[in-house]
């Protein structure tokens, strides 16, 4: 009998889930809601932000009658070596994503997660984590500039499939904010990727994930691949 694994990626605002070929997301963390949508699993594997473990553990045990398994950051996993002096200070989602990406690329890799924050992690040919960057995400910058209560949608002109990292100057406050908050991460990321590529004789593979991956993919000068399930793929490596 095939073991049915429910994988959960629990972030600050949303929980992503994957079970066999089905997947989805919901506001984080709503285990009771999820339990109504999936078949009862044999295992539950979890990547979770700090501070929710006890609550999630109790919810999973109550709903599914099994103890969940939590992935943890380690000094080394499947050939990838963490560069942090204290590996436990690295976010588990970043760790799992870079492990999965390195195994997929079989070489130097950059992982860009474009969510609430934009995180970048760099791993060389030998699997050595070179470190990374964390900057505000597109939505976070927009909300900071426009105010939390103001509805500022990205204008259609800025969500097309053009590859111009620098949108045209805005002719209203909304378009100025929208264009500026797209230009900042794309120019920053292109600079990071250009420098990493120069230091990697065999070349690099760049993976994008997160809710704004498509916006960056359309504008980055550097070649990129959208791979939304890196954390889930990393869970399968960490907790086989």
Instruction: Tell me the pLDDT tens digit for each residue of 200-215.
Output: 999 999 999 999 999 9
In the residue annotation, 124 being an active-site residue is answered as: no
Catalytically annotated residue among 7, 9, 93, 113: 93
3-class DSSP state for residue 221?
A: coil
Q: What is this structure's pTM?
A: 0.87
Average pLDDT of the chain, as a whole number:
86
Q: Where are the beta strands (DSSP E) in 35-174?
A: 43-48, 69-70, 76-77, 80-81, 109-114, 117-123, 129-136
The whole-number pLDDT of residue 161 equals 38
Distance of alpha carbon 149 from alpha carbon 126, whole angstroms: 47
Q: Are residues 15 and 104 in the same domain?
A: no
Q: Which of 70, 87, 110 is the last residue of a domain?
A: 70
> For position 44, which CATH number holds?
3.30.420.40
DSSP 128: B
Q: Are residues 101 and 220 in the same domain?
A: yes
Q: Per the structure, how many domains does the chain have? A: 2
Q: Are residues 61 and 82 in the same domain?
A: no
Structure tokens at 88: 């436990």
Contact 112, 119 (CB under 8 A): yes
- Quick: pLDDT tens for 111-162: 999 999 999 999 999 999 999 999 999 989 988 887 754 555 555 445 543 4
Domain that holds residue 44: 5-70
The whole-number pLDDT of residue 156 equals 47
Q: What b/e sequence results for 136-175 when a residue is b if at least 16 CB atoms lie within 10 Å of its CB, and e otherwise? A: bbbbebbbeebeeeeebebeeebeeeeeebebeebeeebb
The whole-number pLDDT of residue 117 equals 94
The whole-number pLDDT of residue 213 equals 95
Q: Are residues 52 and 90 in the same domain?
A: no
Q: Are residues 90 and 32 in the same domain?
A: no
Q: Are residues 159 and 224 in the same domain?
A: yes
Q: Are residues 56 and 133 in the same domain?
A: no
**Residue matched to tokens 């009998």:** 1
Split at pLDDT 50, 70, 90, the class of 236 is very high
């Amino acid at each position: 009998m095939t073991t049915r694994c429910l994988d959960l990626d629990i972030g600050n605002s949303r929980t992503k889930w994957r079970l066999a070929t089905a997947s989805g997301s919901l506001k984080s963390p709503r285990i009771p809601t999820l339990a109504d949508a999936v078949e009862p699993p044999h295992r539950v594997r979890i990547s979770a932000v700090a501070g929710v473990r006890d609550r999630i553990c109790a919810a999973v045990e109550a709903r599914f009658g099994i103890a969940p398994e939590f992935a943890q950051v380690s000094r080394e996993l499947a050939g990838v070596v963490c560069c942090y002096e204290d590996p436990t200070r690295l976010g588990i989602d970043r760790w799992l994503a870079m492990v999965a990406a390195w195994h997929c690329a079989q070489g130097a890799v950059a992982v860009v997660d474009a969510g609430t924050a934009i995180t970048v992690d760099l791993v060389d040919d030998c699997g050595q984590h070179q470190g990374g960057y964390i900057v505000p995400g597109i939505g976070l910058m927009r909300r900071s500039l426009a105010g939390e209560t103001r509805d500022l949608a990205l204008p259609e002109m800025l969500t097309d499939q053009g590859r111009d990292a620098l949108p045209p100057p805005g002719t209203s406050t909304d378009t100025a904010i929208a264009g500026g908050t797209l230009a900042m991460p794309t120019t920053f990321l292109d600079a990071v990727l250009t420098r990493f590529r120069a230091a990697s004789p065999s070349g690099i593979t760049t993976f994008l994930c997160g809710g704004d991956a498509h916006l960056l993919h359309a504008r980055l000068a550097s070649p990129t691949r959208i791979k939304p399930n890196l954390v889930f793929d990393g869970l399968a490596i960490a907790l086989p």
